[in-house]
Amino acid sequence: MKENQHSNTGNSFPKANIYLIGTIAALAGLLFGFDTGVISGAQDFMFQTFALKKDASLESNAIKGLVVSCVPIGALIGAMLSGFCARVIGRKRGLILTAIIFAIGTLSAAFAGSLNTVIFARLLMGLAIGISAMVAPMYLSEISPANIRGKMIFMFQLAITMGLMSAFAINLWFAHSIADYTMNWRWMFGVGIIPAIILLVGMAFMPNSPRWLYLKGRSNEAKKVLQSLLGKENVTQELAEMKESVERESKGSSLLQLFKKPLLPLLLVSFGLFVFQQLSGINAIMYYGPQVFGSAGFGESAKFIAQLLMGLTNVLATIFGVWVVDKIGRRPLLTMGFIGMVICLAALSFFLKSAGQNPYLALASVLIFIVCFAISLGGVPYIMMSEVFPLKARASGMAIASCANWGFNMLVSGSFNILVAKMGNMGNVFMLYCICTIVGFIFAWYLVPETKNRQLEEIERNLYSGKSVRRLGDTASATSNI
Ligand code: BGC
């Protein structure tokens, strides 16, 4: 595929459809959500197919745990490779590569002849998720004009929630429509091939990131893409700013620089937000939803309906987040979200301790928690990591922040059952997440900048003029719009 075809705009510079580009790239998020969510419904049938013992022996639990956690393990590896991938092969081809890996992983899982193949397939899916969870937000941030950049990156989070929700719905559908338990889970996995192919074909027609092109010395192509994205001929100002940002960072290794001032605080903010995103216990609820609702007092089928309701709430609240993030700003959303999450986690902890007496109040706490998460810690960490790093350090910085996402995802999802057993009941575990979220609130309050409507180069200029991380989004003298 010849690169940059899309941006061949001639003299009139018709404006590229930025929302179409965003939607295609965000499909990587849909696959992320789908592939992490599908296992909740597929696992029991799959274990039956491969005659895994239904006992609670250490061996069967270890195998089951491995099958579930290979996605976060693969994603952690993917996150480590994502910086290299974004830098060397580029944001656009990085996403094409993940679509291919998603497709191979999906087909291998659907046609698996043994549990080992399933494990291999899920590691591949995880790898693709880990790479794309960093490359897609980066691509979205680099093609978007400043006034809609938050919204565009938040679309990635929206896609994750839609993926999770579709996985819950597809699991329910195939569990009921295909009676043969050796086949239904194959269909659950197999459906993932559709978004993988759309991502693959769609991305082939999308433009490269202008910032990556510039970084690679392909300034003519960068200019054409910018003209197309902004729909105007004169992009001299924008190119001059990219030049400035590339030259500023041309000395020294960007990876080492990340651990020194002035970049270290940026790493701390991006890494920390993902740590607190995971320590809020979101995936204890996402991956173990039916178990949590069961403890709250819901019966067999009601707990699956509750999970679906939770998935739907997540999607709707995220749509609200997409709509308001560039209007209200990142900090007010984080503040509202954190306060709401702390209250709901404390309430959920209380209702879970009341031994199934208050199932509806527990459900209400979960749903309001999901709303608060969706408008704040759901999307904002992806936005922050895509916005705060200067161009040359962006790929490595975002890769390290993504490792926090997957490392702590593994920690929380892997330790949930152990903590429930050790702490006596599920309510205590949610109280622990509540305490972590209070610490997260203090962290965000003192460190997270408001970057609404700031262009990336303006944020970078603030950084090098000595502003603290909290003040990176202050007005700096600049005129460009991207
Ligand atoms: C997190 C995922 C989580 C999802 C829930 C994302 O922002 O990274 O771990 O499952 O939100 O919506």
Q: What is the model's pLDDT at position 12?
A: 55
Give the model's pLDDT for residue 345: 98
CA 467 / ligand 1 centre spacing (Å): 31
Closest Cα to residue 160, out of 194, 185, 195, 123? 195
Q: What is the spatial distance between Cα 456 and Cα 141, in angstroms, rounded to a whole number? A: 9
The helix/strand/coil state of 78 is helix
Interatomic CA distance for residues 185 and 268, integer angstroms: 41
Q: Please report the atom of ligand 1 found closest to the CA of residue 405.
A: 8
What is the Å distance from ligand 1's center to 446 Cα? 23
Contact criterion met (CB below 8 Å) for 133 and 401: no
Is 212 within 8 Å of 93 (Cβ atoms)? no
User: What is the pLDDT, as a whole number, of residue 9?
Assistant: 40
Q: What is the pLDDT of residue 430?
A: 97
Which atom from ligand 1 is nearest to the alpha carbon of 379?
7
Residues in the chain: 482
Closest residue CA from atom 2 of ligand 1: 283
Q: How far is the CA of 318 from the centre of ligand 1 (A)?
A: 11
CB neighbour class for 138 (10 Å; exposed up to 12, middle 13-18, buried from 19): buried
Rounded Cα distance between 357 and 351, Å, is 8
Q: Give the residue whose CA is nearest to atom 10 of ligand 1.
A: 283
pTM, two decimal places:
0.85
Q: Kindly list the protein residues whose Cβ atom lies closer than 6 A to any atom of ligand 1.
A: 157, 160-161, 164, 277, 282-283, 286, 314, 378, 405, 409
What pLDDT does 123 receive? 95
Tell me the CA–centroid distance for residue 287 and ligand 1, in Å.
11
* Cβ neighbour number for residue 198 with a 10 Å cutoff: 16
Give the count of beta carbons closer than 10 Å to the beta carbon of residue 204.
18
Task: Label each residue of 199-224 as H, E or C.
Answer: HHHHHHCCCCCHHHHHHCCCHHHHHH
pLDDT tens, per residue, the chain with 482 residues: 333 334 444 445 667 788 899 999 999 999 999 998 898 788 888 888 987 766 656 677 677 777 877 898 999 999 999 988 998 999 999 999 999 999 999 999 999 999 899 999 999 999 999 999 989 999 998 888 878 888 888 898 899 999 999 998 898 888 888 888 889 999 999 999 999 999 999 999 999 999 899 888 888 898 998 888 888 888 888 888 777 767 765 554 567 788 888 889 999 999 999 999 999 999 999 888 888 998 888 887 788 788 889 999 999 999 999 888 889 999 999 999 999 999 999 999 999 998 778 899 999 999 999 999 999 999 999 999 888 988 778 888 988 998 999 999 988 887 888 888 889 889 999 999 999 999 999 999 999 999 888 888 888 888 888 888 888 888 865 444 44
pLDDT at 57: 65
pLDDT of amino acid 243: 77
Closest atom of ligand 1 to CA, residue 318: 12
The rounded Å distance from CA 160 to ligand 1 centre is 7
Tell the residue nearest (CA) to atom 11 of ligand 1: 378
Which residue has the least CA distance to atom 1 on ligand 1? 378
